[in-house]
Amino acid sequence: MAVLPLKDVVDVIVNLSPRSAVRSGFNLSLLIGDSAVLTAEKRVAVYSSMEAMKDDGFTADMPEYQAAQIYFSQSSNPSKVAIGFWNSSSESLAEAIAACRAFNLEWWGCVPLGKKGETGKIVPATAEDLMSAALTVESATPDTVMVCALADLTFLGELKAKSYRRTLGIFSEDVNKAVAVTGYAMGANTGLANSAFTLKFKKLVGVVADPLTEAQVSDAEAVNANVYVNRGATYDLFEQGTMADGTWFDEMINLDMLSNYIQLSVMDILCKTPKIPQTEAGVATIINAFLPDLDNAVKIGFLAPGIWSAPGFMDIEQGDAIEKGYQVMSEPIDNQTAADRDARICPPIYVALKLAGAIHSVVIQLNVNR
């Protein structure tokens, strides 16, 4: 008996949409040193345990291994670390970071561990090394930050004077403080509800508070340098949690993360949609693609409803309520120039973000009546 195909009557066509781009969790940092386990050809390796590092050839006397122990020991439980290679006989720290950035795009923060000196002892990266690296990090793609420790207020002050937004400097001789605070941040950045965090007042595991005087702390904070100190003989605390230009670290990581997610969401909708019309409905399609990213920023506690206190723009006036924690606006299609329309350019889209902020100090007045 002849069997005729069903598709002549009912034809089912399966269109499998392309995969969305993988979102980086912004929870991976690079510890960069010059131990010869890695090479210029294999610049970066990612590990989820100390055992995995041992299996790859790292030993307990290597700075990368020791730093990874500090990194994984933080109370926030970071899940993975990236190790990078610095070929310190033939390249600068800045060149090594750039090479690691090109080799692996997943890590976000980096900590220079130093290099082996003539006697075989580890020599911390110099102010000159770090200053050159800071300039490289400032313009790196994808977005990158550097966390470094150096007891040199002249160097830290120069970072501030140059308004470097992507370097967090710590006033300390102990590079492991940079490792520890980076490990804490990468573990804390889970993306779960109410997971937004600040670095201020955090206890770092595996390092000792520096015995700084009030004057030294004041001098360090005057140049936006961070410190790890003891207060009240009870609390070992990291302070303040700012980049060299004064930007809060938590604002930096969350804005980088949000920008990246929006960029990928819009790319996904452009790739998945046969055609987005150059109409108000088309612009709405693009906006709707990244609204979940803004809602997620509210969910984790980075954005929150509040009053717009900056100068107004578009539909927003100073003093207006930003009821969702954000407000999205776009210029009308009808206002486009003929050249932009011919080039198929979307009208500019503007997003007002109201940050949730954080409380870092408290004043309590006790009024006593007998």
pLDDT in tens, 160-219: 999 999 999 999 999 999 999 999 999 999 989 998 999 999 999 999 999 999 999 999
Residue 316 resides in a domain = no
Q: Is the pLDDT of residue 24 over 90?
A: no
- Name the domain count of the chain: 1
Per-residue confidence at 345, pLDDT binned at 50, 70, 90? confident
Total number of residues shown for the chain: 370
Q: Which residue has the higher pLDDT, 88 or 97?
A: 97
Range of 38-42, 59-63, 79-83, 310-314 with top mean pLDDT: 79-83
Residue 120 resides in a domain = yes
Tell me how far apart the alpha carbons of residues 163 and 282 are, in angstroms, rounded to a whole number.
39
Any idea of the CA torsion for 186, 247, 350, 20, to the nearest 10 degrees? -10
Residue 153 resides in a domain = yes
Residue 60 resides in a domain = yes
Which of 20-24, 75-79, 364-368 is predicted least confidently? 20-24
Which of 11-20, 67-76, 197-206 is predicted least confidently? 11-20
User: Which helix (H) or strand (E) is 221 found in, with range?
Assistant: helix 214-222
Q: Is the pLDDT of residue 19 over 80?
A: no
Residue 192 resides in a domain = yes
Q: Is the pLDDT of residue 13 over 80?
A: no
Q: Is the pTM of this model over 0.85?
A: yes
Dig out the tokens for 218 from the structure.
């004041």
Q: Is the pLDDT of residue 321 over 80?
A: yes
At 194, the amino acid letter reads N
Q: What is the pLDDT of residue 146?
A: 96
> Which residues have a Cβ under 8 Å from the Cβ of 295 and sit 6 or more positions away?
none
Rounded average pLDDT over 144-166? 95
Mean pLDDT rounded to a whole number for the chain = 90
Per-residue confidence at 360, pLDDT binned at 50, 70, 90? confident
Q: Are 326 and 356 in contact (CB under 8 A)?
A: no
Per-residue confidence at 96, pLDDT binned at 50, 70, 90? very high
Rounded average pLDDT over 260-269? 91
Q: For residue 161, which of 222, 95, 113 has the smallest C-alpha distance?
A: 222
pLDDT in tens, 272-302: 999 999 999 999 999 999 999 999 999 999 9
Residue 92 resides in a domain = yes
Supply φ then ψ for residue 10, to 5 degrees: -125, 110
DSSP one-letter string for 287-318: HHHHHHHHHHHHHTTSB--EE--SPPBTTB-T
Residue 21 resides in a domain = no
Q: What is the pLDDT of residue 233?
A: 85
Residue 242 resides in a domain = yes
Residue 38 lies in domain: 29-252
> Which residues have a Cβ under 8 Å from the Cβ of 25 and sit 6 or more positions away?
189, 190, 191
Q: What is the pLDDT of residue 134?
A: 96
Q: What is the pLDDT of residue 5?
A: 72
Q: What is the pLDDT of residue 25?
A: 65
